[in-house]
Chains A and B, each alone.
Chain A
């Protein structure tokens, strides 16, 4: 990789596009009454319809339509007054019918937008369409090296996921973002995710696959006004990866174009470890899906009053919510940005709801927990700790049971799966030592062991108190309250 992204955008204009698939949080599948619960035993949530058995027929889940209209309205789309499902025909073992019921040229929602804030400026991301389709089953590839498909001997297919309602949200091409393109992509997906979460239509967990992103990237010579050949990058499984994937593709394509070659129209696969993409499957000829209107389903014609009823249930938009929280918590723009950049806003909000002060909630999520997430290479939301548990720890610090140092030990234990904060405190005896007798003994020991420090303090150099406090903290394994220790030392030394 020889190009830096900002240098790339001096020579080329990037155009990006994003396709996001969202599994709806309905209780049942799109076309049958099987449950959609995640993590069930293989092939325990299937029926003739989602298995595509001969003779089976689909029947539309009304709540899925309602959720899709809701998403479309929140994205400022027009809702079709009449539209149909279509069959997308191709062969693949995880698709029981070897066609997917989807929508083709008549999406339920179209022509909307989502405004996102990127480095102080508003970027309007156009939404081309929002449509509904059914998810596929999942395959395990056995026998190959990495569990991936190449080199596998055979595959094992589980159809529990087949038929789960999937909403596809496709942006219009996003131009004019220059060097910010990768960031715009990430911010768009983040904002979209927050919006979908606020609509309560999906749990949008990228790590569980209920939200999946493909990013399209192309470059054209700066100022040319024409569009370059695009590539589609799949396997982008986190917000960070969205940004990295766009950046990596921009760099790669720039190298290709700089060398006088042409970018190949193809699908590429993103690799978490290297942050780069490799060629997936070259589209020698674009797949002909032979779309035609699904004859087993009748057209959808959502009545205008139903659409308006749904519109009335739209909650506060994320941008408005952010403004409200920033005001409520009296945060500066910088402090607010720190929260949104760390993707911690909903976690902090939930922690405040659970009883913590905004300051405490921010302190722990952006401090200790962010550090641990970084170390583990995961997102904050993926940490195995709940906002309620964080609020509890903050409460224990407020009432003096814990100090900051002990609190950090409690977090470590909770993240390690050792239980709730109270359980951990009890089990490991982590409470602050508040017994003055024991503390005094520790202080005396520390003074005996550090005569030079004592002399410094007596001579008025109060900085040395820290040495003695440190010694006491060490001796008590962090369980002393440092302020109390300090005042005890001051008393003793005089």
Chain B
């Protein structure tokens, strides 16, 4: 039996029934990584020994009769944005090459508490800035559907790992779409929970008011299982929400949209959207209606300002967040020959340690926060943010969830937009509004685009703390589509052969 083709839910059942050991499950996935990661390059660090030791520990506890959590013994891949004690954490950057943190992020602590087997750290755009994982200092990740295509970003490594069956589950972080967009272009499920719903303690900061850790899975239920295990209040994160995690697993099992009011966002369509994406989206709308939902059009007039507002707020916050990388306490130190002073060493280190996109955003952010420019740029962007929140509030007054395509296009070619920042930024058009508002949003596969046979994602958006609605709708859509397709979408992914 090929354990790598099982879902997390299936593995959980098998493990609980002791039909398979955690060690076997871990080994199967490590073997798969060894077999295909040379081509995919999803992983920056594979923690084989540690994973097997963790798995052995789970097996021992289960053998001793202990009642274990649902994810005990289930493998997870962890985006390299999450700090892991003693395990290399690079955030996709040269400046943290070789850094071994002295502490664990809360997300990782929770994964361990749930008994999950951590397979290793996945590739990402440097400091989470990008939509293709091409900004990684360690080389790009390749989309398992077509190795010449990008897997999305910034959580491209995690999405590819799941799509390539290297792990049933993976963690990512979403700031402008960095979970949903890779999920969409890799044909898997990915959620941006409500901001504050999952702890940012130990998540290397990109844009503090936007960063949201979240789950990837091949199925909606798997994603819900990880979502539940990861989330919840953390006293180490002041922005963490002190309320119970919405009942996402129950909602995923319920999978029923009859009577739900669903709004199609008018503004998230039109120019710049690939026809094949729009037609798959239209099919999704029709399916949801068929399943009993009431679908209408809703206008969110300020959404067209979401992209420029985001590209002011995020770089501003990151210009400050990345100031700590200065060669003094950890990470790369360049040019310390005894002649150069501290400032010179700092500047040389950051010049060598940061990639082009990171430099662009730091400079942009420094500009937007400068006295004289603050009101016109950062200040204005924060006002636009308020207007976008109000658009959502008004919309959710009429409907229970909003939907749109997750991205305007399918996976583009590696190298195609690499030196065209503006073109790259457009990949986040649909996902950014939810980040600015702090709402919950999910991407679930809704088919393959006619032009290129590449996956298209359906995005569902819900109000803050209504994450369960996402899973209810996504699960219903998934069931409906799977029935139509007759097989999981991923079976079409030929990038890695069988």
Interface residues of A (CB under 8 A from B): 48, 51-60, 87, 89, 91, 93, 96-99, 153, 155, 157, 288, 290-292, 295-298
Within the assembled complex, what's the spacing in Å between the Cα atoms of A153 and B378? 40
* B105 contacts partner chain A, Cβ-Cβ < 8 Å: yes
Tell me the bound Cα distance from A290 to B319 in angstroms.
10
Pairs across A and B, CB under 8 Å, 19 listed: A48-B101, A51-B329, A54-B96, A55-B105, A55-B200, A55-B202, A55-B204, A59-B237, A89-B323, A96-B329, A98-B323, A99-B323, A290-B366, A290-B374, A291-B369, A292-B316, A292-B317, A292-B320, A296-B239
Q: A153 to B329: give the CA distance in the assembly, Å.
A: 18
10 interchain residue pairs of minimum CB distance: A98-B323, A295-B208, A290-B369, A295-B209, A55-B202, A55-B83, A54-B204, A97-B324, A55-B204, A288-B371
Other-chain contact of A57, B201, B346, B371 (Cβ < 8 Å): B201
- Contact present for B238 and A290 (CB under 8 Å): no
Given contacts A52-B324, A93-B342, A288-B371, 18 further A-B contacts (CB under 8 A): A51-B329, A53-B83, A53-B329, A54-B89, A54-B101, A55-B82, A55-B200, A55-B201, A56-B202, A57-B238, A59-B236, A89-B319, A89-B323, A98-B324, A155-B342, A157-B328, A291-B369, A295-B209
- Specify which chain B residues have a CB less than 8 angstroms from the CB of A56 in the assembled complex: 201-202
Whether A295 pairs with B102 at a CB distance below 8 angstroms is: no
Looking at B105, B236, B317, B366, which has the most chain A CB atoms within 10 Å of its CB?
B236
What residues of chain A lie closer than 8 Å to B207, measured between beta carbons? 295
The reply to whether B239 and A96 contact each other, CB–CB distance below 8 Å, is no
Residues of B within 8 A of A52 (CB): 324, 329
Interchain nearest-CB distance for A441 vs B (Å): 74
Task: Kindly identify which residue among A157, A292, A295 contacts B369, using a CB–CB cutoff of 8 Å.
Answer: A292
- Bound complex: CA of A57 vs CA of B83, how far in Å? 13
Nearest CB of B to A28, in Å: 14
| A58, B323: Cβ atoms closer than 8 Å | no
Nearest-neighbour CB distance to chain A for B208, whole angstroms, equals: 4
B79 to chain A, nearest CB (A): 12
Does B205 interact with chain A (Cβ within 8 Å)? Answer: yes
- In the bound complex, CA of A291 to CA of B369 (Å): 7
Q: Known contacts A48-B103, A93-B328, A155-B342: does B201 contact A99 (CB below 8 Å)?
A: no
CA distance A56 to B208 in the complex (A): 11
Given contacts A55-B205, A57-B201, whether A99 and B320 have CB atoms under 8 Å apart is yes
Separation of A56 and B237 alpha carbons in the complex (Å) = 9
A297 vs chain B, min Cβ distance (A):
5
A292 touches B102 (CB 8 A): no
A296 touches B324 (CB 8 A): no
Binary CB contact string for chain B from 74 to 96 against chain A (1 if under 8 A, 0 otherwise): 00000000110000010100001
Q: For chain B residues 300-331, which have a beta carbon within 8 Å of chain A?
A: 316-317, 319-320, 323-326, 328-330
- Contact: A55 with B346, CB < 8 Å? no
On chain A, the residues within 8 Å of B96 by CB distance are 54
Q: In the complex, what residue of chain B is closest to A290 when comparing beta carbons? A: B369
B contacts, CB < 8 Å to A? 82-83, 89, 91, 96, 99, 101-103, 105, 200-205, 207-209, 235-239, 316-317, 319-320, 323-326, 328-330, 338, 342-343, 346, 366, 369-371, 374, 378
When distances are taken between beta carbons in the complex, the residues of chain B under 8 Å from A48 are: 101-103
Instruction: Specify which chain A residues have a CB less than 8 angstroms from the CB of B202 in the assembled complex.
Output: 55-56
Tell whether, in the assembled complex, residue A298 and residue B239 are in contact, meaning their CB atoms are under 8 Å apart: yes
Which secondary structure characterizes the binding site on chain B?
A: loop
**Complex-state Cα separation, A55 to B343, whole angstroms:** 24
Contact between A58 and B324, CB atoms less than 8 A apart: no
Whether the Cβ atoms of A57 and B369 lie closer than 8 Å is no
A10 to B119, CA, bound (A): 79
Q: Are B238 and A297 in contact (CB-based, < 8 A)?
A: yes
The docked-state distance in angstroms from the alpha carbon of A290 to that of B362 is 13
Chain A residues whose CB sits within 8 angstroms of the CB of B204 once the complex forms: 54-55
Q: Which residue of A lies closest to B199 (CB)?
A: A57
The docked-state distance in angstroms from the alpha carbon of A157 to that of B82 is 27
Contact assessment for A96 and B374 in the assembled complex, using a CB-CB cutoff below 8 Å: no
Contact of A53 among B82, B91, B330, B338 (CB under 8 A): B330
For B316, the chain A residues whose CB sits under 8 A away are 292
Query: In whole Å, how far is B328's beta carbon from the nearest beta carbon of chain A?
Result: 5
CB distance from B176 to the nearest CB of A (A): 15
Q: Which residues of A contact B236 (CB under 8 A)?
A: 57, 59
Q: Is the CB of B102 within 8 A of A290?
A: no
Select B371's contact among A53, A60, A96, A290, beta carbons within 8 Å: A290
**Which residues of A sit under 8 angstroms from B317, Cβ to Cβ?**
292, 295
Q: Which residues of A contact B343 (CB under 8 A)?
A: 91
Q: Please report the C-alpha to C-alpha distance between residue A155 and residue B336 in the assembled complex, in whole angstroms.
A: 13
B371 and A298 within 8 A (CB): no
B207 to chain A minimum Cβ distance, whole angstroms, is 8
CB <8 Å contact, A296 and B320: no
List the B residue with the shortest CB-CB distance to A98.
B323
Known: A53-B330, A91-B323, A91-B343. A59 touches B101 (CB 8 A): no
State the CA gap A116–B1 with chains docked (Å): 85
Contact A54 B201 (CB under 8 A): no
User: In the complex, how many angstroms separate the beta carbon of B375 from the nearest chain A beta carbon?
Assistant: 12
**What's the least CB distance linking B107 to chain A, in Å?**
10
Please determine whether A296 and B238 come into contact, CB atoms closer than 8 angstroms: yes
Contact of A298 among B200, B238, B326, B370 (CB under 8 A): B238
Instruction: Indicate the member of A54, A58, A89 with the most B CB atoms within 10 Å.
Output: A54
